């Protein structure tokens, strides 16, 4: 199955900026992969943050933004807060006949 790769872990200082990336084993990530981003804290269900590369939900804090960066999808946190410490997952769509979605392995973000 297709592999979607994220940084295993990142560390950022409070108030800082960090970018998480999401790469596809099949090549460059484009808007056609409809990148989604999720935040998951221990013991909780994932919470959706971004859909369709850069679209935010009504509950998504303004400091979160999604984009395409080079050949990857990216999630940028600007002005990081302590409560942003969590696992972050990206999700990509692989269309065609099977129309399947594949999650990345997740990035553990530490705010220190």
Partner 1 sequence: QVQLQESGPGLVKPSQTLSLTCTVSGGSISSGNYYWSWIRQPAGKGLEWIGRIYTSGSTNYNPSLKSRVTISLDTSKNQFSLNLTSVTAADTAVYYCARVFETWGQGTLVTVSS
Q: Is residue 10 a contact residue for partner 1 (CB under 8 A)? A: no
Q: Is residue 1 a contact residue for partner 1 (CB under 8 A)? A: yes
- Considering only 47, 54, 67, 68, the residue that binds partner 1 (CB under 8 A) is 47
DSSP β-ladder status, 36-40 and 47-51: antiparallel
Give residues 50-69 in contact with partner 1 (rule: CB under 8 A).
Answer: 51, 57
Q: Which two tokens stand for residue 97?
A: 């006949």
Given the complex with partner 1, which of 13 and 57 has the nearer CB atom? Answer: 57
CA angle 9, 68, 52 (to 5 degrees): 100
The sign one gets for the Cα dihedral 83, 48, 42, 45 is positive
- Contacts with partner 1 by CB under 8 A: the residue count is 21
CA 100 to chain centre: 18
Question: What does the binding site for partner 1 look like in residue numbers (CB under 8 A)?
Answer: 1, 36, 38, 40, 45-48, 51, 57, 89, 91, 98-106
């Amino acid at each position: 199955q297709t592999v979607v790769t994220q940084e295993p872990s990142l560390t950022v200082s409070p108030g800082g900026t960090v970018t998480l990336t999401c790469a596809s084993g099949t090549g460059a990530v484009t808007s056609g992969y409809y990148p989604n981003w999720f935040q998951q804290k221990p013991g909780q269900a994932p919470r959706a943050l971004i859909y369709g590369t850069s679209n935010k939900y009504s509950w998504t804090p303004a400091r979160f933004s999604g984009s395409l960066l080079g050949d990857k999808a990216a999630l940028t946190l600007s002005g990081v807060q302590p409560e942003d410490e969590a696992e972050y997952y990206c999700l990509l769509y692989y269309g065609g006949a099977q129309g399947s979605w594949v999650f990345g392995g997740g990035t553990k973000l530490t705010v220190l």
